[in-house]
Amino acid sequence: MTPDPTAPWLVVGLGNPGPDYAANRHNVGFMVADLLAERIGGRFKAHKARAQVVEGRLGPPGPASRRVVLAKPMSYMNLSGGPVTGLRDFYKVGAAHIVAVHDELDIEFGTLRLKLGGGDNGHNGLKSMTKSLGPDYHRVRFGIGRPPGRMQVADFVLKDFSPAERKELGYFVDRAADAVEALVIEGLERAQTTYNS
């Protein structure tokens, strides 16, 4: 199904605010949102819904481009649903036009999976969004892999990417941003064909 070209898409990068968290695995959604903002030539500004937003267009100039609102909730990860609901109401966006970009433990580092709906798989950001919105929004799942040895999941996601991962991180963040663009412009099925590895 082709999205309504007049409705904006709300692309939400999930993460935790503040410099202490900036390079954490849990903040890869913020990293992708930052890159998309760079691509559309916008700067994040504070929004009354407790989020930072950038408005612009994704895609080639002309009728194929899509209106987007890029957002980074400024609540902590486990409270993401509040800001996202505020933005949904402010921009009058349906759930089918919402995309969450988030880290995913059950996928190997750098692997992407795009889907519509589903469970939260223990991810606190998704849990909060689903509680507020219902489950029927898009997800761009960025694989971070499982913690090594006996490391707790909470410790793992709140650590920075390893030096080896950081060498490839830029490439994978770029690819995730491409996947978001493809999802918004071409639709889920075509984007899945290209990016679900």
Active site residues: 26
Strand partners, 73: 51
Q: Which residues contact 196 (CB under 8 A, 6 or more apart)?
A: 112, 113, 114
Overall size of the chain counted in residues: 197
Ordered alpha helix ranges (H), the chain:
28-39, 81-91, 124-133, 153-157, 163-186, 188-195
Q: Which residues contact 13 (CB under 8 A, 6 or more apart)?
A: 29, 30, 31, 32, 33, 34, 70, 71, 72, 101
Strand partners, 99: 11, 138
Distance CA 136, CA 115 (A): 10
State the CB neighbour count (10 A cutoff) for residue 140: 25
Question: Residue 13, SS3?
Answer: strand
